[in-house]
Amino acid sequence: MEEYREEELTLPAEPMLLHMGPSHPAMHGTVRCVVKLDGETVVGSDVQIGYLHRGFEKECEWGTWTQVFPYTDRLNYASPLLNNIGYALAVEKLLGLQVPARCQYIRVILGELARICDHSVCSAAMAMELGAFTVFLYLVKAREWIFDILEEVTGARVTHAFCRIGGLRWDLPENFADRVRSVLPKSLEAIHECEQLLLRNRIFMDRTMGVGTITPERALAWGWTGPCLRSTGVAYDVRKAHPYLVYEDLDFDIPVGSQGDNYDRFVCRLEEIRQSARIVMQALDKLPDGPIAVPDDTGILLPQKLETYTTIERTIQHFKIIMEGIQVPPGEVYSYSEAANGELGFYLVSNGSGKPWKCRVRPPCFANVQALSELTRGRLLPDIIPTFGSINMIGGECDR
Amino acid sequence: MTTFFVVATAAKLVLFLVGIITCGALMVWVERRMSAMIQDRIGPVRANAGPFRLWGLVHIAADGLKMMIKEDFIPRRADKLLHALAPMLAIFPVLVTFAVVPFGPTIDFGHLGSVNHLGPLFEGRWATTLQVAQVDVGLLFVLAIAGTGVVGAVIAGAASDNRYSLLGSLRAASQLVSYEVTLGLSLVGCVLVFGTLRLEDMVLWQHHHTWGVVVQPLGFVLFLAAAIAESKRTPFDLPEGESEIVAGYFVEYSGMKFAAFYLGELMEIGVLACFLAVFFFGGWDVPFLRADGIHLSLPMLGAKFWAMPHWSVVLLQLGAFGLKVCGLIFLQMAIRWTLPRMRYDQLMELGWKAILPLSLANVAVTAVVLHALR
Amino acid sequence: MPYVVKRPERDIWEQSYIPETVRGMGVTLRHFFRNVIGRRDTVTILYPEVQRPYPPRFRGLHRLTQRDDGSPRCTACMCCQTACPAECIHIVAGSYPDGHPLAFVEKYPAEFWIDELRCVFCGLCVEACPCDAIRMDTGLHARPVEARPHLMYERNLLLSITDAKGDVLTANPRKK
């Protein structure tokens, strides 16, 4: 067929502008893609974020260091505990504080459980948007059981607000280890069923393989991290590259992809669920006894409740922490950890008052979602959906 | 034309129309309930009639009432006439194609109690065939009417003044037209084997010989694929594709107009199940059951025969047809809740590069084999 | 160690659609028949009729604990109001007159408002209370109401709410 240029024709066809979102089933209500369509081919797309902007960073400057925890729950609301941990680690780094071993192990266990939740809900949403509704509900079921455990530990299903600077809100409940050991295999079984339904199904392979492909170089250039980067073959995981907490003592592998397409991202997430389950099981075996927080006399954590009720010294200490906030020495710090979507960074500046002077978040999916426009250009309209799904843009984190 | 003929036809027509619309409504329930059971949910049981929940069956009535009292919204810049016409055009082929489905053999009201020695199809003073219209070109009629299904979808999309609808109707047009070809071609094998276009004679052939799925297994698979594509359900639900183009061509419809599309689609599952049963599963045929009773010829026991009165044979055969249709509806639903959605270009590739050549090959092979056997 | 995830080969098994569809239907229909014929294995519950017991740590609606004589434990110290990140607590302090049996605690909440619509249920107020006066162990969640004021909980209502076991008292041993 002879090549022709549209604009040279007598009656050129104009591309159609389609506003996908924010109220579009696949856009989660938090993002808008303005796509320019030639038929169904995407000529160009403009990804507009910010629909879930709440002024997180400014809110943090208002509250004390402790009051930031409920806000961090709402960053990546699919895995709030990982944000809790990331923020706690950042403030502890600024304080030069090392939390006790038991606390570190508990953080690892809960963090990995949260990662399992996040990866399953991301894979679930992606599958649902491809029309596999059954897979969505199986994966959500797997997450539901883990949510039950997290609720028993933290007292809330999503908005845990569980970490504290220098420790945790509570120790684990008594039957925690047994609950996890019984529930995790059930969840993995549900995930296995989804793999049976999708991974070798040709329709799913056609929809995801070779779609949304990105090279490792481009991914790094965009600042990608997390499962999305690893799907391109770059084995960068903060837990391995810059170990924090007790990840060094635990044995786990990093699943990487080879093509960097949607299929690799999907499979990488499911594999990471397996690795996280491995970490949880090991950490449960190794879980040491001991305190879950730094000692009271550091003036970081609130004193023991019974002592607060009965002694005036502890009451005064309690009041000082509540009314003035934790005294963090002036300085600045950048701390990063591996959240579900990649490297979650907190850049904190303290001026010595009880409140953060600045709290900047490096949300992993902000970097990831930048590439969406590039990934979908020249492809078909339906390809936007799995690509967007596998990037796992979480509005709370991206827009802050 | 006797009075009995007119009365019988009118009765069949009314019975059938009521039947299909009930069937469409029931399908809503089946779809919800079945998906719930597959997905480990309870499903909808909230609506109740006093203390009775009836496993969610009351929802059908609740939905119907809701659809009726909902605002009938028409976009400001939509073409009002076409917007109103489209749902009717979409539901029309479904209702009409039902007319030629032979859902049972001839029933003779004069000899209900006696043993029938005339065979399944015969004529008599008080006899009528359980089929609304006996059309000589039955199969062609079905394909011709089914082909008009695309019109409703296209008009709906074009008249709605919505870009998602437009994309949906474009997809619907190309998909339905492409799969129309295969839908017909995959049945040519059957026509060659059965040697007739009349649906009732097709069933008769299967009644005397063997079921269509045995002689045309490939034809069955191809027709099933094309049929699901025609009814626009997952994995071929691109014209609707709710996560891509929201609801496709009927995104701007509400109230009873939406219900027409929705029910039309669900009734189409029923129609297709009927046709699958007629073409490939022997229609009302029950193995070993002849018009006069059960004929068994087992290698050990030799030939056995039990005579049965006419009414019980017809009842059994009607029941068999219903059972087959239910099973095929179940199959279509199970496929819908298992598979993800295809992409537009992949769908076209599947249609034109895989299913079409395969159905042509099926026709050729069938023809050659039939010629060799003659 | 990094390892590369599997990508299935595309041979006739996958390319012909049918075997994998049948395998997938095996999974879905197994669930279907288990739920229809065998033991019902649903994850969802019929909510208002069937209620899931909340775990002991569940942070629900607030309550104010009482002393033995039924007066509020709260001394209107404003800790919870300060610690609340959502600013949903409003306290007006009053003081017991001289000669009152509770004059030794000096202050009490003349008004105590919690806007349960604003509350984010983070539990920081409970943690911040130095005398175990405010708790969230009621095992109740904020149910939908018809008007906003219905979820503005005031002092006496908060005092009347019990914990999940029906207790109104507190763990604070000081000066009962």
Residues B1-42: pLDDT tens digits? 578 778 888 888 888 788 878 888 888 888 888 888 888 888
- Cβ-defined contact of B334 to C29 (cutoff 8 Å): yes
Same domain, C154 and C87: yes
Q: Strand pairing partners for A285?
A: none
Cβ atoms of B105 and B143 closer than 8 Å = no
In the prediction, which pLDDT does A113 show? 92
Q: Report the distance separating Cα A11 and Cα A365, nearest Å.
A: 42
- Under DSSP, the state recorded for B350 is I
Same domain, C68 and C135: yes
- pLDDT bucket at A347, cuts 50 / 70 / 90: very high
- Cβ-defined contact of B340 to A134 (cutoff 8 Å): no
- Find the helix or strand (DSSP H, E) in which A384 lies: helix A381-391
Total domains in chain C come to: 2
- Find the helix or strand (DSSP H, E) in which C94 lies: strand C89-95
Chains touching chain B, criterion 3+ CB pairs below 8 Å: A, C
- Cβ-defined contact of A207 to B343 (cutoff 8 Å): yes
Inter-helix orientation angle A80-95/A101-129, to 10°? 140
Residue B266 pLDDT greater than 50, yes or no: yes
ipTM: 0.83
- Lookup result for tokens 């969802």: C44
Using CA atoms, how far residue B34 sits from B31, B277, B335, in Å, is 5, 21, 12
Residues B91-134: pLDDT tens digits? 888 888 888 888 877 777 777 777 777 766 677 777 777 777 77
In the prediction, which pLDDT does A112 show? 92
Query: Is any Cβ of chain A less than 8 angstroms from the Cβ of B237?
Result: yes
Please classify residue A241 by burial: count the beta carbons closer than 10 Å to its beta carbon, then call 0-12 exposed, 13-18 middle and 19+ buried. exposed
Map residue B129 onto helix, strand or coil: strand
- Under DSSP, the state recorded for C66 is B
Better pLDDT: B306 or A365: A365
- Domains, chain A, ranges and CATH? 56-362 (1.10.645.10)
Would residue C78 count as lying in a domain? yes
Cβ atoms of A31 and A48 closer than 8 Å = yes
Mean per-residue pLDDT of chain B: 83
Same domain, C21 and C86: no
Chain A residue numbers with beta carbons less than 8 Å from the beta carbon of B241 are 131, 382
Chain B residue numbers with beta carbons less than 8 Å from the beta carbon of A18 are 163-164, 167
Q: Report the distance separating Cα A110 and Cα A173, nearest Å.
A: 13
- Find the helix or strand (DSSP H, E) in which A352 lies: none
- pLDDT bucket at A4, cuts 50 / 70 / 90: low
In the prediction, which pLDDT does A114 show? 92
Would residue C105 count as lying in a domain? yes
Would residue C36 count as lying in a domain? yes
Question: Measured between CB atoms, which of C20, C58, C128 is closest to A200?
Answer: C20
Q: Compare all CA atoms of chain B with the CA of C48 and give the residue at the minimum distance.
A: B46
pLDDT-wise least confident of A36-50, A194-208, B241-255, B343-357: B241-255
Q: Report the distance separating Cα C131 and Cα B243, nearest Å.
A: 53
Same domain, C104 and C144: yes
Same domain, C83 and C18: no
Inter-helix orientation angle B3-38/B255-280, to 10°? 100
Q: Strand pairing partners for A163?
A: A168
Structural domain containing residue C150 = 63-160
- Find the helix or strand (DSSP H, E) in which A243 lies: none
Query: Is any Cβ of chain A less than 8 angstroms from the Cβ of B225?
Result: no
- pLDDT bucket at B282, cuts 50 / 70 / 90: confident
Query: Is any Cβ of chain B less than 8 angstroms from the Cβ of C44?
Result: yes
- Extract long-range pairs of C170-173: CB within 8 Å, 24+ residues apart: C170/C65, C170/C66, C170/C73, C170/C131, C170/C132, C170/C133, C170/C135, C171/A305, C171/C132, C172/A309, C172/C65, C172/C73, C172/C131, C172/C132, C172/C133, C173/A306, C173/A309, C173/A310
Chain B residue numbers with beta carbons less than 8 Å from the beta carbon of C29 are 38, 334
Q: Report the distance separating Cα A16 and Cα A169, nearest Å.
A: 54
In the prediction, which pLDDT does A1 show? 45
Instruction: Provide the edge-to-edge strand list for the sheet that holds B302-307.
Output: B289-290, B293-298, B302-307
Q: How many CB atoms are located within 10 Å of the residue C160 CB?
A: 11
Chain A residue numbers with beta carbons less than 8 Å from the beta carbon of B164 are 18
Q: What are phi and psi of B65, to 5 degrees?
A: -65, -45
Would residue C166 count as lying in a domain? no
Same domain, C70 and C153: yes
Q: Compare all CA atoms of chain B with the CA of C45 and give the residue at the minimum distance.
A: B42
- Cβ-defined contact of A40 to B344 (cutoff 8 Å): yes
In angstroms, the separation between the Cα of residue C146 and the nearest Cα of chain A is: 25
In angstroms, the separation between the Cα of residue B198 and the nearest Cα of chain C is: 31
Query: Is any Cβ of chain B less than 8 angstroms from the Cβ of C18?
Result: yes
- Which residues of chain C fall short of a pLDDT of 70? 173-176
In the prediction, which pLDDT does A6 show? 67
Residues A134-181: pLDDT tens digits? 889 999 988 989 998 999 898 888 888 888 888 888 888 888 889 899
What CATH number does the domain containing C139 carry?
3.30.70.3270
Same domain, C75 and C26: no
In the prediction, which pLDDT does A300 show? 80
Same domain, C77 and C34: no
Same domain, C118 and C153: yes
- Cβ-defined contact of B341 to A381 (cutoff 8 Å): no
Q: Can you give the residue ranges of every domain in chain B?
A: 75-373
Q: Report the distance separating Cα B21 and Cα B264, nearest Å.
A: 9
Same domain, C145 and C99: yes
Using CA atoms, how far residue A139 sits from A127, B221, C56, C157, in Å, is 10, 31, 27, 41
- Lookup result for tokens 């950042």: A90
Would residue C165 count as lying in a domain? no
Same domain, C115 and C147: yes
Q: What are phi and psi of A342, to 5 degrees?
A: 140, -155
Q: Report the distance separating Cα A84 and Cα A75, nearest Å.
A: 9
- Find the helix or strand (DSSP H, E) in which C72 lies: none
Question: Measured between CB atoms, which of C21, C42, C46 is closest to B40?
Answer: C42
Query: Is the bond preceding residue B235 a cis peptide, omega within 30 degrees?
Result: yes
Same domain, C75 and C145: yes
Cβ atoms of C71 and C96 closer than 8 Å = no
Question: Measured between CB atoms, which of A66, A141, A258 is closest to C4?
Answer: A258
Residues A285-341: pLDDT tens digits? 988 888 888 877 777 888 877 777 778 888 888 888 888 888 888 989 999 998 888
Q: How many CB atoms are located within 10 Å of the residue A243 CB?
A: 14
- Cβ-defined contact of A24 to B343 (cutoff 8 Å): no
Interface-testing mutation among C28, C41, C49, with chain B (most B C-beta atoms within 10 A): C28
Chain C residue numbers with beta carbons less than 8 Å from the beta carbon of A84 are none
Q: Report the distance separating Cα C100 and Cα B5, nearest Å.
A: 100
Q: Which two tokens stand for residue A268?
A: 């990488």
